[in-house]
Structure 1
Amino acid sequence: MLIRQRESRHVPDIFLLFCESHRLAGIKARKRLHFAFENYSLPYSISFWLHQASLRDEEYIKEAKSNVAQFVYTMHRVGKVVPPKRHILKNISLSFFPGAKIGVLGLNGAGKSTLLRIMAGIDTDIEGEARPQPGLKIGYLPQEPQLNPEQTVRESVEEAVAEVVNALKGLDEVYAKYAEPDADFDKLAAQQGKFEEIIQAHDGHNLNVQLERAADALRLPDWDAKIANLSGGERRRVALCRLLLEKPDMLLLDEPTNHLDAESVAWLERFLHDFEGTVVAITHDRYFLDNVAGWILELDRGEGIPWEGNYSSWLEQKDQRLAQEASQEAARRKSIEKELEWVRQGAKGRQSKGKARLARFEELNNVEYQKRNETNELFIPPGARLGDKVVEVSNLRKSYGDRLLIDDLSFSVPKGAIVGIIGPNGAGKSTLFRMMSGQEQPDAGSITLGETVKLASVDQFRDAMDNSKTVWEEVSGGLDIMKIGNTEMPSRAYVGRFNFKGVDQGKRVGELSGGERGRLHLAKLLQVGGNVLLLDEPTNDLDIETLRALENALLEFPGCAMVISHDRWFLDRIATHILDYQDEGKVEFFEGNFTEYEEYKKRTLGADALEPKRIKYKRIAK
């Protein structure tokens, strides 16, 4: 049968073609096709439909066939095999139209990055066919972009607008040559016209304003900073800035929100919402998926499962779908239901979440809490019972060189709290953790830990792990029985509680995806069994299933946690307090979650306070 017309909930004028198992499942016909998913290539499907459809449906088939030429990118039966002979992608057929905004979801190792590398033309060792429309300009942001280390930040960014930069320089040279005594005015006038045409077409006279606005939005380092001296996160922001200024027809973004603070992510959301081209983005940022995506493509066991809608609507249908699957999916469904319950509560329910959690602290601190279902859950080993005094910071001051990072900071962490720490990169968030653990000393003021406090720290640096070891060896040190906090347990059982099951424990560390390395990093560093956790960017590279598991583990943890993160959804679910690093050494401590804090800032400082700007440091007089 043919399903004729249906109003799209998210993207206007959507036309969806979907053919499954040699059977026409449906057509949702509108004037423009933004995204089509099928198990067989569209031209073959059109031919099949022509033979199967009745005469009264010819007008819809004619419209469908005419829209085939509008695809900007098609994939036909694409498959990818990785060692040892594992089909990471199989029989994927996708077609994209201008304007589609697609979020790609899937577990770590499901093939999300592989899909984007194939679409970018980087990975050509594939089954099937993947081809863009002739002349399509594709912009691709990998997780680890390669930049010229000899360039400055400005030189690197200006490569994206090289035509305009060269036209501006050329125009200046033309003006200078007009003053020469033997100037060829006709030739110079022709050159001037050519340069001015380029400049006007790209609003080139406002180029500096455009560059400054983009640099502020993504909080780029100083223009004259050398690429070679930048951190990995700073390089990613430079690469993203370059890519957006290039204005491609199609954006392929692999974790674009990594290393962006919350204000920069919000700016990127607005940019992509207004972007006229096609966007395919892998991201774990669920607010980003809610606000940008009109479609969700889930990669599951090599296959692609499309959903028309944003993340919240996908979560609803995912819950229903899991309810119909086998019993081994029970833990995943339970985890999803917990998050879905939070989504449905609305702002009022979310506001009371943090206070309710604090009241439940004593209830959670019992042995029943420690019983965990290993499937798709993370295990945070509980420490000793925490006393009333946790962390007290008084008149803290810290600088690096001539830059003041923290100026006169005072706050107290209550028992049972989860403090979300936010702010631009380089503001001094990790420095606070190093001072709390005694690795660094403050310039003035004090940090006092309660007598019962035992810290468990997880930094953001995962390169120290031995790539030649297996997952089990890296965590266990080869021991069958491990000491986890004050107790002992089988090492393979402990590693399994971080979702490394069976043969996965035999994987080499060097073979792991970024998200798998993140889980391994947590397993290795949390085994000390602390009752106060210091987590530095724990959400980076984690898939949404693992993020959800981490959130649930933190919500049930019978201790305290201080978490550096830019993930707004994550902070809204877990945070009872926010510690915000601002300009010139100011740090603000707020009771509430991220959204409540944003509302407070907007109410007290105005909407401009939520716009991203490059951080300003107060200088220390020598």
Structure 2
Amino acid sequence: MAHEFIYTCYKLARHYPPDRTVLENISLSFYPGAKIGVLGANGAGKSSLLKIMAGLDDGYTGEARLTPGFSVGYLAQEPQLDPSKDVRGNVMDGVAAVQGLIDRYNEVMAMWGDPDADYDKVGALQAELEDKIAAADAWSLDRNVEIAMDALRCPPDDADVTTLSGGERRRVALCRLLLSRPDLLLLDEPTNHLDAESVEWLEHFLSEYHGTVVAITHDRYFLDNVAKWILELDRGRGIPFEGNYSSWLEQKQERLAREEKASDARKRTLERELEWVRMAPKARQAKGKARLAAYDKLQAEAEAADRGPDKLEITIPAPKRLGDTVINVEHLRKGFGDKLLVEDLSFSLPPAGIVGVIGPNGAGKTTLFKMLTGQEAPDSGTVTVGDTVELAYVDQSRDSLDAEKTVFEEITGGVEHMKVGNREIHGRAYCASFNFKGSDQQKLVGKLSGGERNRVHLAKLLKTGGNVLLLDEPTNDLDVDTLRALETALENFPGCAVVISHDRW
């Protein structure tokens, strides 16, 4: 019997003590085979929703249930691997059930050589297993594993997973999950640490995927190419839109225009009611109480509307003036062992430009940044840094953040007045320039979403006030609105910015 929905939420809410609400009264049903992109500001509850749907968080109220008979698989932002197994062993965990069919089939085939076997029973077992193997495409298991591992640029089969980088761990975990083929696939930022070719392969894989896909991602091309529905999380609400990212933008613009019109009408009504409240105190008897109650309700609605999301802005500190010579690279060569990463590379950075660095994973992009900063020495060639250059390097690692500190303490060092470049500014104002305002500055870093941690990382490392920015995958885990704010900040930056990014928008 076909089911109408694969997953259902009814009046779902998620509150975090003491008074933080990320999901409020969400009632949604998910169609089998639907491809859904989840959007919302950092901290809006996107990851919380996926954890609830994956069965990993039961601290919610309301209903959240997977329809019986369906399976669910989940890619976390920081997935776990089995440290006792190598890369290949972890990937094969995703196809353990399919491998079990092959192993059982081989056992049954061996029974044909047993003179005491019940051949009718053996034949029936063989036929049953052949049907299951064909349905699971198990005859092509090894080939499918090789294709997926190659497409996602997984490390070598025998690599020790305890030595992998965060990006390598994510690619192994993603490969394992995709090969397991659950009915409901929950993906939290699946394109992070994937190069453009891997993302294109993933887009095709998910577009053809038999099951339901619910993906949180900042990759706007990915949302355009894969998603047929957009679920926006906004101030605790879940707002579904039918269509891809581009059509969602159009529909959201229309919705915001309607909300603004309703807000204007509500304000006019409030003004009239406020005038009545002030001018007719004697009328506040039995007949006036209903009107006063209506006024209180209108006031509450207006305040709720006014608590809508602020316009996101990121301010990169103004740097010292940059001279004509920025960084000149001549005939650079770099390799590790037998692997050559860079050969005869020469370029000069412009004084006021934004330079993008692209290439597949493992091509040497991060190694290039480390040579520019002096952390790695080239095998040959020269790197000349101009006399006026002050470098600010934002790497991919978020491991240096202290989970026990507040946002304010981590960014500013706990001082009210801090030095940013050569200027002294108010620490709380600097935090606010990265959209950490009011009580947000008192949140513990360990309680932040991935995108919020990335903003802390950016703010912390950019406070040096460098006039040449080296940004290694700065868009990872950022929501779409924050991405736009970062793009605007870079466009307005008077120095030079060099950006490694797989964001194709």
Normalised to the residue count of structure 2, the TM-score between the two structures is 0.85
Aligned equivalents of 1:278, 1:185: Cα separation in 2 = 42
**Counterpart selection for 1:561 from 481, 497, 501:** 497
Asked if the contact 1:293–1:309 (Cα under 8 Å) also holds between the matched residues in 2, the reply is yes
Q: CA deviation at 1:417?
A: 2.4
Aligned equivalents of 1:451, 1:125: Cα separation in 2 = 56
Aligned equivalents of 2:502, 2:145: Cα separation in 1 = 24
- Could you tell me which runs of 5 or more consecutive residues in structure 1 were left unpaired when the two chains were aligned: 1-65, 330-373, 570-622
Aligned equivalents of 1:76, 1:176: Cα separation in 2 = 52
Letter in 1 for 2:406: T
> Does 1:490 pair with 2:406?
no
Q: CA deviation at 1:75?
A: 1.0
Larger RCO of the pair (alpha carbons < 8 Å, separation 6+): 2
Aligned equivalents of 2:98, 2:460: Cα separation in 1 = 50
Aligned to 1:141: 75
> Does 1:207 pair with 2:141?
yes
Q: CA deviation at 1:173?
A: 4.7
> Does 1:465 pair with 2:396?
no
**Counterpart selection for 1:265 from 172, 184, 199:** 199
Aligned equivalents of 2:42, 2:80: Cα separation in 1 = 23
> Does 1:401 pair with 2:337?
yes
Aligned equivalents of 2:112, 2:382: Cα separation in 1 = 67
Cα shift readout 1:552-604 (whole Å, capped 9, x = no counterpart): 101111111111111111xxxxxxxxxxxxxxxxxxxxxxxxxxxxxxxxxxx
Aligned equivalents of 1:188, 1:73: Cα separation in 2 = 40
Aligned to 2:45: 111
Cα shift readout 1:189-248 (whole Å, capped 9, x = no counterpart): 455444433333333232221111111111111122232232222222122112222222
Aligned to 2:174: 240
1:441-452 aligned at under 5 Å gives the runs: 441-452=377-388
SS of 2:47's equivalent in the other structure is helix
Aligned equivalents of 2:486, 2:105: Cα separation in 1 = 56
SS of 2:98's equivalent in the other structure is helix
Q: CA deviation at 1:184?
A: 6.6
Q: CA deviation at 1:379?
A: 0.8
Range moving further from structure 2, 471-480 or 162-171: 162-171
SS of 1:236's equivalent in the other structure is helix
Aligned to 1:420: 356
Aligned to 2:439: 503
Aligned equivalents of 2:95, 2:374: Cα separation in 1 = 47
Cα shift readout 1:54-92 (whole Å, capped 9, x = no counterpart): xxxxxxxxxxxx99x512221111111111132221110
Aligned equivalents of 1:491, 1:550: Cα separation in 2 = 20
Aligned equivalents of 1:155, 1:72: Cα separation in 2 = 31
**Counterpart selection for 2:20 from 82, 86, 89:** 86
Aligned equivalents of 1:439, 1:226: Cα separation in 2 = 25
Cα shift readout 1:4-61 (whole Å, capped 9, x = no counterpart): xxxxxxxxxxxxxxxxxxxxxxxxxxxxxxxxxxxxxxxxxxxxxxxxxxxxxxxxxx
Q: CA deviation at 1:180?
A: 6.7
Change in Cα spacing, 1:455 to 1:323, as seen in structure 2 (3 Å) is farther
Change in Cα spacing, 1:488 to 1:310, as seen in structure 2 (3 Å) is same
**Counterpart selection for 1:544 from 476, 480, 500:** 480
SS of 1:244's equivalent in the other structure is helix
Aligned to 2:325: 389
Aligned to 1:276: 210
Asked if the contact 1:469–1:508 (Cα under 8 Å) also holds between the matched residues in 2, the reply is yes
Cα shift readout 1:399-457 (whole Å, capped 9, x = no counterpart): 22332222222222223222222233333221111111111211111112223222111
Aligned to 1:618: none
1:360-379 aligned at under 5 Å gives the runs: 375-379=311-315
SS of 2:239's equivalent in the other structure is strand
**Counterpart selection for 2:366 from 425, 430, 433:** 430
Q: CA deviation at 1:326?
A: 6.6
> Does 1:221 pair with 2:155?
yes
Aligned to 1:121: 55
Aligned to 1:530: 466
Aligned to 1:45: none
SS of 2:463's equivalent in the other structure is helix
Aligned to 1:256: 190
> Does 1:514 pair with 2:485?
no
Change in Cα spacing, 1:320 to 1:406, as seen in structure 2 (3 Å) is same
Letter in 2 for 1:93: S
Aligned equivalents of 1:508, 1:249: Cα separation in 2 = 36
Change in Cα spacing, 1:137 to 1:379, as seen in structure 2 (3 Å) is same
Asked if the contact 1:290–1:312 (Cα under 8 Å) also holds between the matched residues in 2, the reply is yes
Aligned to 1:152: 86
Q: CA deviation at 1:394?
A: 1.5
SS of 2:232's equivalent in the other structure is strand
Q: CA deviation at 1:172?
A: 4.1
Aligned equivalents of 1:106, 1:480: Cα separation in 2 = 31
Aligned to 2:229: 295
SS of 1:220's equivalent in the other structure is coil
Asked if the contact 2:77–2:450 (Cα under 8 Å) also holds between the matched residues in 1, the reply is no
Aligned equivalents of 2:24, 2:114: Cα separation in 1 = 66
Q: CA deviation at 1:486?
A: 2.1
Aligned equivalents of 1:475, 1:400: Cα separation in 2 = 35
Change in Cα spacing, 1:181 to 1:83, as seen in structure 2 (3 Å) is same
Change in Cα spacing, 1:86 to 1:163, as seen in structure 2 (3 Å) is closer
Range moving further from structure 2, 503-512 or 198-207: 198-207
> Does 1:304 pair with 2:269?
no
Aligned to 2:303: none
Aligned equivalents of 1:185, 1:99: Cα separation in 2 = 41
SS of 1:289's equivalent in the other structure is helix
Change in Cα spacing, 1:173 to 1:99, as seen in structure 2 (3 Å) is closer
Q: CA deviation at 1:383?
A: 1.6
Letter in 2 for 1:438: G
Aligned to 1:479: 415
Cα shift readout 1:493-541 (whole Å, capped 9, x = no counterpart): 1111010111111222222221111111111111111111001111111
SS of 1:528's equivalent in the other structure is coil
Aligned equivalents of 1:486, 1:319: Cα separation in 2 = 41
Aligned to 2:95: 161
Letter in 2 for 1:446: T
Aligned equivalents of 1:524, 1:400: Cα separation in 2 = 31
Cα shift readout 1:229-279 (whole Å, capped 9, x = no counterpart): 322222221221122222222211111111111111111111111123221
Asked if the contact 1:164–1:198 (Cα under 8 Å) also holds between the matched residues in 2, the reply is no
Letter in 2 for 1:244: L
Aligned equivalents of 2:24, 2:452: Cα separation in 1 = 22
Aligned equivalents of 2:33, 2:107: Cα separation in 1 = 40
Letter in 2 for 1:232: G
Asked if the contact 2:317–2:465 (Cα under 8 Å) also holds between the matched residues in 1, the reply is yes
Change in Cα spacing, 1:306 to 1:184, as seen in structure 2 (3 Å) is closer
Cα shift readout 1:144-182 (whole Å, capped 9, x = no counterpart): 222211112222222222233233334445555655777
Aligned equivalents of 1:377, 1:557: Cα separation in 2 = 13
1:318-397 aligned at under 5 Å gives the runs: 318-323=252-257, 375-397=311-333
